[in-house]
Amino acid sequence: MCSKRSIVVQKFGGTSLGTTERINRAAYRVSQTIRNGEFPVVVASAMAGVTDNLVKLASLIKADRSDDEYDVIISAGEQISAGLFASALNRLGIRAKSMLSWQIPILARKCEESERSVLQCRSENVKKAIDDEIVPVIAGFQGVTNDGRLVIFGRGGSDLTAVAVAASIFAKRCDIFTDVEGVYTADPRLVPKSRKIPFISYELMLEMAEYGAKVLQEQSVSHAMENKVPVHVASSFNNNPGTMVGVCPASARSVAGITLRPSLNEQTEISIIGRDITSSKNVYTSVNEGLETLGINYAVSDGSINRISFIISDKHTEIALNKLHTVCGLDVKEQ
C-alpha cells in the first residue's frame, strides 16, 4: 500500500492525448512517476477534437443540451481515452484499470452546465485499486446524479474531476498536464513578453480563471481552494517546472497577470489581477497613462479587491494588452 503522502493525481488534457503516440508518451510519463516513488491516479480528458465532433453529431440530430442523453453523447470521448490510457499502461507492465464516474462514484448536481459542481467524490473504490497496486485511470469531465444519470461538468471539466479525486484521497498534489508550461502573466500567443508564473495563490488563480485565463477551469480552482489541494500546472511534452497553485507566500508579486474575455458590441474586457490591487494607486496611474499614450478610450468595469477590469474596443485589444503588460512591470527581462 502507498502512503497518502506519495499519492498524486495526474490529469492529462486533450492535446496531451491527441494521438495514440501521445497516449503512449503520457503512459511513459506515469511510469516515471512510479519510478520516482509516487503512486499515480490518472484522470483522462477526451482526445483533442473528439468532443467537438460529438457536439456536431448531437447537433445533427438536434439533441437538446438540457436532456440527459446529450450528456451521455458528449462524455463518450473521456471513456475512450480512459480505456486507451489504461491499455497503454498495462502494455508497459503497469497494472491499471479504467474507471467511469459511476464506478467511483463522483456525485454531481444537474443544473446549468456552467454551474455544475461535485457534491461528493467517494473514494473507497479508488483507494481499493491503490491498495491492490492498480493504477486507476478515471474518465474526466463527468459525474453522476443521485438518481444514477450521467452529467457533464462543461468545458475543462476534467480539471474538476482531477481536483475532486485528489481531495477525496488526500493526494499529495494534483498535476494538470497540458500543452503549455504553466500559468502565464498573459496569453503568450498575444503577448510575446509574457512569462511563466512559478507560484500563484488560489484566490488570484480563481480571478484569472473566471476572467479569461483558460489554463484551469474555474470550478476546479474553487474546489482546490476549498479543500487546500496543491495544484501543479505543467506541460506534458517536457519536464520543465510549471506553476504551483496554492496558499500564497507573503513575498508574492502584487500584480500577477492580465486576462481578457469577450464583452458585448465588439468589445473586450481586460482585467489586471493582483494581491490587494485596488489599494495600489500606481496600478491605476499606469493603466491610465498607458492607454492614454496609445489614444485608447476605455470604460471601467466591475472589480474586486484583487482585480481591476475595464472595457475597450476589440480592435485595440492586442496593442493594449502588450502596453499594459509592460507598464505593470510584467515583461520578461531581456537576456
Same domain for 136 and 8?
yes
Is 25 part of a structural domain of the chain? yes
Q: Which amino acid is at 299?
A: A
Same domain for 261 and 173?
no
Other Cβ atoms closer than 10 A to 95? 12
The residue with cell 489581477 is 273
Which pLDDT belongs to residue 302?
87
In the 8-state DSSP scheme, what is residue 19? S
Domain end, chosen from 148, 179, 210, is at 179
Mapped onto helix, strand or coil, the DSSP state of residue 177 is strand
Mean pLDDT along residues 239-254: 81
Mean pLDDT along residues 215-232: 96
Same domain for 288 and 165?
no
Range 87-94 contact pairs with CB under 8 angstroms and sequence separation of 24 or more: 88/23, 88/24, 88/26, 88/27, 89/27, 89/30, 89/31, 89/42, 89/135, 89/137, 91/27, 92/27, 92/28, 92/31, 94/27, 94/30, 94/31, 94/34, 94/135
Other Cβ atoms closer than 10 A to 70? 18
Read off the CATH number of the domain in which 272 is found. 3.30.70.260
Same domain for 153 and 283?
no
CA atoms within 13 A on the CB side of 247: 4
Domain end, chosen from 135, 153, 179, is at 179
Is 201 part of a structural domain of the chain? no
26-30, 40-44, 149-153: lowest mean pLDDT where?
Answer: 149-153
What's the pLDDT band for 280 if we cut at 50, 70, 90?
Answer: confident
What's the pLDDT band for 253 if we cut at 50, 70, 90?
Answer: low
Distance CA 29, CA 236 (A): 8
Same domain for 165 and 279?
no
Distance CA 118, CA 123 (A): 13
Read off the CATH number of the domain in which 170 is found. 3.40.1160.10
Distance CA 192, CA 180 (A): 14
pLDDT tens digits for 79-132? 999 999 999 999 999 999 999 999 999 999 877 655 677 889 999 999 999 999
Q: Which residue has the higher pLDDT, 114 or 291?
A: 291
What's the pLDDT band for 1 if we cut at 50, 70, 90?
Answer: very low
Mapped onto helix, strand or coil, the DSSP state of residue 60 is helix
Nearest to residue 322, comparing CAs of 182, 188, 184, 180?
A: 188
Same domain for 149 and 48?
yes
Is 217 part of a structural domain of the chain? no
Q: What sign does the CA torsion over 89, 95, 98, 104 have?
A: negative
Q: Is the pLDDT of residue 200 over 90?
A: yes
Distance CA 97, CA 83 (A): 8
Same domain for 264 and 166?
no
Q: How many domains does the chain have?
A: 2
| Maximum mean pLDDT: which of 91-105, 146-160, 274-288 | 91-105
Nearest to residue 99, comparing CAs of 122, 117, 67?
A: 122
Same domain for 163 and 290?
no
Domain that holds residue 62: 4-179
Is 153 part of a structural domain of the chain? yes
Is 224 part of a structural domain of the chain? no
Same domain for 8 and 125?
yes
For the whole model, what pTM was predicted?
0.93
Domain end, chosen from 150, 179, 208, is at 179
Same domain for 134 and 34?
yes
Same domain for 169 and 42?
yes
Other Cβ atoms closer than 10 A to 287? 21
Is 49 part of a structural domain of the chain? yes
Same domain for 175 and 294?
no
Is 63 part of a structural domain of the chain? yes
Mapped onto helix, strand or coil, the DSSP state of residue 335 is coil
Q: In this structure, are residues 163 and 231 in contact, taking their beta carbons and an 8 Å threshold?
A: yes
Is 82 part of a structural domain of the chain? yes
Distance CA 6, CA 253 (A): 31
